[in-house]
Amino acid sequence: MSSLIAGRSTRMEILELLRRRQAASAETISTELGITPNAVRQHLTNLERDGYVRSEPVRHKRGRPSLLFSLTDRADAAFPKRYGQLATMVLTELQEMGGPEALDEVFRRVALRHATAMEPDLEGLDFDQKLERVVTWIGRAGTLADHEDLGDGCVRVTIHNCPFRNTALKFPQVCTITPHLLNNLLGASVSQSNSIHRHDPHCSFVVERPQPD
């Protein structure tokens, strides 16, 4: 992936041309980019192998069929994304409109929505089983998370890489999603001990095991 999105590589130029044209032959790509047909075909072969490009034969009234190349859905990942920038813009406007309390409520609702979706998968499980599943679920969102027993009825959940780091540095409310999730799904008291927003290397949360009735 990095070879596709780093700089103005020939592969990236081919992808950009196909994005603009929707479909093109190797000969057209060669002419427009000023690259030899053999070099273009080699790049197209590699792109098709990697799942970024598909080929389709087009028959003509005369002569042999020619191949038209187009992008697959997977190729969209090769183009730059600005999700973090958009999130920051939206959150800035929301805070201007409703103040920090509005952001608090938004992230509380986000956590509650996810917790509601997860609850059916946790039915009948004990605390440790629930915790294991919740931490695994957090990891599926692109977060490197783990947990360890601290003794004295406490467990520490650590998030080593935050996919929303840049946004969280400006809006600490982002960091409340995890404790809200843990509280809603485990019925446990949660406190934050480390925070990326405070320039710690990671975020960590101390979860107190619920006392038996």
Model pLDDT, residue 88: 86
Structure tokens at 96: 């201007």
pLDDT for the residue 5: 38
Query: pLDDT truncated to tens, each residue of the chain (213 aa)?
Result: 333 433 458 889 999 999 988 899 999 999 999 999 999 999 999 999 999 999 988 876 676 777 899 999 888 888 877 777 888 899 999 999 988 899 999 999 999 999 999 999 999 999 999 999 999 988 887 788 899 999 889 999 998 887 787 888 888 888 888 899 999 999 999 999 888 778 888 889 999 998 776
Domain range summary for the chain, segments of one domain joined by +:
2-78, 83-208
Q: Which fold has domain 83-208?
A: H-NOX domain (3.90.1520)
Is 204 within 8 Å of 158 (Cβ atoms)? yes
Q: Residue by residue, what is the 3-state secondary structure of 97-155?
A: HHHHHHHHHHHHHHHHHHHHHHHHHHCCCCHHHHHHHHHHHHHHCCCEEEEEEEECCEE
Q: What is the CATH number of domain 2-78?
A: 1.10.10.10
Task: Report the C-alpha gap between 63 and 97 in whole angstroms.
Answer: 65
Instruction: Look at residue 58 in the predicted model and tell me its pLDDT.
Output: 80
Is residue 85 classed exposed, middle or buried when 0-12, 13-18 and 19+ CB atoms within 10 A define those classes? exposed
Which pTM does this prediction carry?
A: 0.62
**pLDDT of 142:** 73
